[in-house]
Structure 1
Amino acid sequence: MGKGLLDLEKHFAFYGAYHSNSVNVLIHVFFVWPIFFSSLILFDLTPPILHVPLLGGFDLNFSFFFALFYAVFYISLDRYAGSFAALLCLLCWFGSKSLAAQLGFSLAWKLLQSLFGYEPYPGFHANVLKKIEVDREEWQARKHK
């Protein structure tokens, strides 16, 4: 019905062409939303883009706008099914924001380093490991006194 990016038939045809294997379809069904959710957790670490003064004030960052983009995209494709997908996007955003707040910044960055080998600058991970070892040695020394 639509053209280009908002052509629902084109999206379904593309999906059908590349996801005809039943195992592939199951993997897609079970892992797309968890990947989306995980992405939102990592994107929650980005700096605020907009401050909303309502309800005591809160900041919106890339995580919110990423979820909003997909919510609007799904609604644009199909008003009814897209509304359900948009609701899932926003629920993922609320849940990921909550989990990111519980994990804290340093644990989430540790996740990034562990999974992707991310370093803010060369030698960062090696320097942190050295400091961890020094802290452990100091803790052990205090523990044995």
Structure 2
Amino acid sequence: MGKVGLFDLEKHFAFYGAYHSNPINVFLHMLFVWPIVFSTLILLYFTPPLFNLPNLGFSPFGYNVDLVLNIGFFLGLVSASFYIAFDKKAGFLAALLNFCCWVSSSYVAGRLGFSLAWKVAVAAQLICWTGQFIGHGVFEKRAPALLDNLFQAFLMAPFFVLLEALQMFCGYEPYPGFHEKVQAKVDSEIKEWKAKNQKKSS
């Protein structure tokens, strides 16, 4: 059964889906959203720690990684908490991906150093955001959701992309009938948006 209010997954996913109904735009978001998360965490690796604690160093597979409990860690923790609150199974997978991104981005940032890491991360951001804007402008023909809802665009997009991929490749849905209900809401929102555009142009 769906949740209500802030954690109404049907409502939020339908809002996202109304901006991502074109298959090519959907593919471009699947391709670029998580790399944006990864490269953002590289940039945030160099922010100061939030707590007066020593860095967490460990060596998986013989590689030394210094983990800093900074704003990147905090944002990842908040995001993971939201994802799990929305749906335990897909949310846990998204939280695990978040954790893997944090650890691996910390390793990459530590190995590259401040100057090179920033150049690589900024280049990745430019490529990924350009790809997404092309997806919206050329294929979706609708402005991205970030212009209407920053919460959706930055915090929830990685989870929704994962949920979309799980549906597409595994047939997963948080509960029976979820995708049917979401699609009905998506169709309604797109119809309403097109009607508003027609009024503006007439």
Give me the TM-score of the superposition, normalised by structure 2. Answer: 0.51
Q: May I ask how many residue pairs the two structures share in their alignment?
A: 116
**Alignment match, 2:40:** 39
Task: State the alpha-carbon separation in 2 of the partners of residues 75 and 89 from structure 1.
Answer: 12
Is 1:20 the counterpart of 2:29? The answer is no
**Alignment match, 2:99:** 90
In structure 2, the CA distance between the partners of 1:77 and 1:113, relative to structure 1 (3 Å rule), is closer
Runs of 5+ unmatched residues, structure 1: 117-145
Q: Summarize the alignment of residues 1-145 of structure 1 with structure 2, pairs less than 5 Å apart.
A: 1-52=2-53, 59-111=68-120
1:103 Cα offset (Å): 1.1
Whether contact under 8 Å (2:49, 2:70) holds in the other structure is yes
1:107 Cα offset (Å): 2.0
1:96 Cα offset (Å): 0.5
SS in structure 2 of the partner of residue 60 of structure 1: coil
Larger radius of gyration: 1
1:31 Cα offset (Å): 0.9
Task: State the alpha-carbon separation in 1 of the partners of residues 107 and 94 from structure 2.
Answer: 20
Q: CA offsets, 1:26-62, max 9 Å, x none?
A: 0111111111101110011111111445967964101
SS in structure 2 of the partner of residue 89 of structure 1: helix
Whether contact under 8 Å (1:51, 1:60) holds in the other structure is no
Q: Which has the higher contact order (CA 8 A, sep 6+)?
A: 2
Coordinate RMSD, CA, aligned = 2.6
Whether contact under 8 Å (1:50, 1:59) holds in the other structure is no
1:7 Cα offset (Å): 1.2
Using the aligned pairs only, state the percent identity.
55
1:66 Cα offset (Å): 1.4
Task: State the alpha-carbon separation in 2 of the partners of residues 37 and 112 from structure 1.
Answer: 8
Runs of 5+ unmatched residues, structure 2: 58-65, 126-202
